[in-house]
Amino acid sequence: MIRMLYTIDMTSKDFFIRNLEAKSYRENFFIAAIVTLFIIRIFLKLTHYPQLGTGALHIAHIVWGGFFMTAALIILLSFLNKAAANIASILGGIGFGLFIDELGKFVSRDNDYFFRPTIALIYIIFVLLYLISKFIPRYRTVSRKEYLVNAIEMLKESAINDFDAEEKQMAKEYLNRCNPKNPIVRALTELLSRLDTIPVGKPNIITKLRALARRWYYRVARSGIIINGVIVFLAFQVVRVLLSVVPLVIEKPVLTFDEWGKLLSSILAGAFIVIGFFALRFSKVEAYRFFRIALLLTLLLTDFFAFMRAQWLEVFGVIANIFVLFVINYAQGLEREKSK
């Protein structure tokens, strides 16, 4: 352990080597954590909050969360292949979902599992984790050393599994961004040229669905249904929040913190919707950019303040907002492709 500490150079800019293919692992983690959280809440509600244990003994599910997260760490530290990393990301997400569900007990003086602001705190924790996960790949430009290490990781698949054409192409792109004078790069480039890839088979169901969605979008985009639908949805969200808050402003002169938060964030989101509406005259890409900002403001601010008061009733609105965000991201990407 002491020898290892002496060999670590914390000042090196490549101390943390980013995994350029880690997006799927982060998605696994978030999906597993959120699904676990919902399953726990639904199960406890349906079974009237049973307790595991007898007498003075009570095994809270935070303990199981610790077991799952420990299992994920052991797998990551013990195995090298992608399958192990995928399993670890799912187990880690399950463990985190079990852990974070008990947050109310640890932020309230009386260890109250039903502490009212808990859901808002859980929500903002997930939002912050998501933002951090988006920041990690972008906090600085990818170095040549990072591209080289990721190319080596891609080549590992040729030893573990069959090497498909997409993986080979990705490894080529990584090596092209490395230092060509590096002897390791030259050796890997030569090795890559000798490796055979598995033949491309029939497209799977996901590939077929993507192609179908792309054809459907191009067909529908000309009619303006998608852009009009996004505008209507965003406007409805803002009007819904305003109708729930404005009467409170009329009834009482002093609003609570969450009421002010809902009101001001909704007005800000509405302003970006109006800007996006006028941007339609010049560019659909720019219009979608402003609509995306409006939706992110709703997800990051308005929904947070809504959870402080309405608790789990706002979950359905969040799910709808996330779905529309996916639609906007997809439509914006296709519009960029069309404009090239």
Who wins on pLDDT, 137 or 272?
Answer: 272
Q: 232 to each of 28, 106, 225, 296, 303, how far by Cα in Å?
A: 32, 41, 10, 16, 18
Q: Give me the pLDDT at residue 74, please.
A: 94
Angle, helices 284-297 vs 257-279, to 10°: value is 180
Who wins on pLDDT, 241 or 298?
Answer: 298
Distance (Å, rounded) from C-alpha 256 to C-alpha 270? 21
Q: Which of 52, 55, 88 is nearest to 73 (CA)?
A: 88
Q: Give me the pLDDT at residue 5, please.
A: 47
Instruction: Specify which of 23-27, 47-51, 159-163 reaches the highest per-range mean pLDDT.
Output: 23-27
Q: Over the stretch 105-122, which tens digit does the pLDDT of each residue have?
A: 888 888 887 777 788 788
Contacts of 338 (CB under 8 A, 6+ apart): none
**Where along the chain do its domains lie?**
17-138, 144-194, 220-339
Distance (Å, rounded) from C-alpha 241 to C-alpha 303? 10
Q: Answer for the pair 294, 302: CB distance below 8 angstroms, yes or no.
A: no
Q: How many CB atoms lie within 10 A of CB 121?
A: 17
Q: Give me the pLDDT at residue 12, please.
A: 56
Q: 189 to each of 37, 60, 109, 206, 331, how far by Cα in Å?
A: 46, 53, 61, 31, 37
Type of residue found at 228? N
Average the pLDDT over each of 23-32, 165-174, 218-227, 254-263 and give the range with the smallest value.
218-227
Residue 88's pLDDT band (boundaries 50, 70, 90)?
Answer: very high
Contacts of 256 (CB under 8 A, 6+ apart): none
Average pLDDT estimate for 33-37: 85
Distance (Å, rounded) from C-alpha 194 to C-alpha 72? 36
Q: Please compute, for residue 95, the number of CA atoms within 13 A of its CA located in the half-sphere on the CB side.
A: 17
Who wins on pLDDT, 200 or 205?
Answer: 205
Q: Give me the pLDDT at residue 91, please.
A: 94
Who wins on pLDDT, 326 or 223?
Answer: 326
What is the pTM for the complete model shown? 0.69
Residue 75's pLDDT band (boundaries 50, 70, 90)?
Answer: very high
Q: Give me the pLDDT at residue 310, please.
A: 61
**Which residue shows structure tokens 């590939």?**
207
Q: Give me the pLDDT at residue 6, please.
A: 47
Q: Give me the pLDDT at residue 122, please.
A: 84
Burial class (CB in 10 A: 0-12, 13-18, 19+), 138: exposed
Contacts of 158 (CB under 8 A, 6+ apart): 195
Q: In the chain, what is the straight-line distance between the N-terminal and C-terminal CA atoms, in Å?
A: 54
Tell me what the pLDDT averaged over the chain comes to: 77
